[in-house]
Amino acid sequence: MTVVLFRVDERLIHGQVVVGWAHWLHPRRVIVVHDAVARSVVEQDIYRSGLPDGVDAAFWTEAEAVARLPEVLESDEPAFVLTEDLETMWRLAVSGVAIAEINVGGLHAAPQRERVLPYVCLGDSDLRRIQELEAAGVRVTAQDVPTAPPVRLVEQAEE
């Protein structure tokens, strides 16, 4: 598998991911990196139920993702990687996973977060991680659906 998209979305597998992104990118597998979901068969079954035929799901802890994503990146079969937050994606990147670009699709209102786009609210720690990722050469964009233009979050947050 090759990773066709690294995406941050609090909702993980949901309609926008399946109907929009999976239809557009045609992954063979969606890899959810989330420690608690990786240990919950019930949650995994719920997430799998929303996937179209022909698309598999894998649920990995962060440690599993760090160990297994390099092999995924070298494969020819397309995969899609999802995390719930920027912090997790940042930890993958600093652990050596070769991430060139991160798509942020849904970080919603919460205490200590400010709205920068209709579907993205960021807190100070999110902004720090975006700046660190960008400084390391990882492009961080927001894009709710594949037909929308990507927006650089580092620029959006500075406005």
Digit-coded pLDDT (tens) for 129-147: 999 999 999 999 999 889 8
Question: Residue 59 pairs with which residues in a beta bridge?
Answer: 32
For residue 96, how many other CB atoms are within 10 A of its CB?
10
What residue ranges define each of the domains in the chain, with the CATH number in brackets? Answer: 2-158 (3.40.35.10)
Backbone angles phi, psi at 84, to 5 degrees: -80, -25
Encode pLDDT of 59-99 as tens digits: 999 999 999 999 999 998 899 999 999 999 999 999 999 99
Least confident of 17-31, 32-46, 115-129: 17-31
Residue 93 confidence (pLDDT): 96
Tokens found for residue 150: 């990507």
141 close to 104: Cβ distance less than 8 angstroms: yes
Q: Report the alpha-carbon distance of residue 73 to residue 79 in Å, rounded.
A: 9
Rounding to the nearest 10 degrees, give the CA dihedral for residues 111, 116, 119, 121: -20
